[in-house]
């Protein structure tokens, strides 16, 4: 199952893996970074500064799930127990849904 994220502006990004989605997010970012790992760190810092919510950058999967938990985006195709290619899939709702 593909991983997809829906941004607050309604844009949807899809990929076969969470890393692919993070790469796409980085390419489309106003302030991109040289690689997806630096992008995750930079965005996590911005989210922390703006919302006070911590976002883990230990893997693309946890990064996307934490962004969804913070209400920054909606993720489909991952759950808290999933790993790369994991069997558990689903939708992580944005707060207020």
Specify the range with the lowest mean pLDDT, choosing from 4-8, 36-40, 88-92: 88-92
Which residue range is the domain that position 72 belongs to?
Answer: 3-92
Angle between helices 60-69 and 18-28 (to 10 degrees): 70
**Torsion over CA: 53, 35, 64, 27 (sign):** positive
> In Å, how far from its chain's centre is CA 58?
12
Tell me if 38 is assigned to some domain: yes
- The pTM (predicted TM-score) of the whole model is 0.81
Tell me if 97 is assigned to some domain: no
The HSE-up count of residue 33 (CA atoms within 13 Å, CB side) is 14
Tell me if 84 is assigned to some domain: yes
Record the tokens describing residue 95, joined without a space. 């707060």
Q: What does the pLDDT look like over 15-44, one tens digit per residue? A: 999 999 999 999 999 889 999 999 999 999
Tell me if 57 is assigned to some domain: yes
Domain count within the chain: 1
Tell me if 54 is assigned to some domain: yes
Contact 74, 91 (CB under 8 A): yes
Tell me if 60 is assigned to some domain: yes
């Amino acid at each position: 199952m593909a991983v997809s994220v829906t941004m607050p502006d309604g844009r949807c990004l899809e990929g076969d893996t969470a890393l692919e989605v993070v790469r796409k997010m980085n390419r489309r970012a106003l302030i991109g970074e040289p690689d997806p790992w630096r992008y995750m760190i930079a965005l996590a810092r911005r989210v922390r500064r703006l919302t006070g919510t911590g976002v883990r950058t230990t893997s693309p999967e946890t990064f996307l799930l934490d962004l969804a938990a913070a209400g920054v985006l909606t993720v489909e195709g991952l759950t808290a127990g999933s790993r790369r290619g994991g069997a558990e899939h689903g939708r992580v709702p944005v707060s207020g849904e």
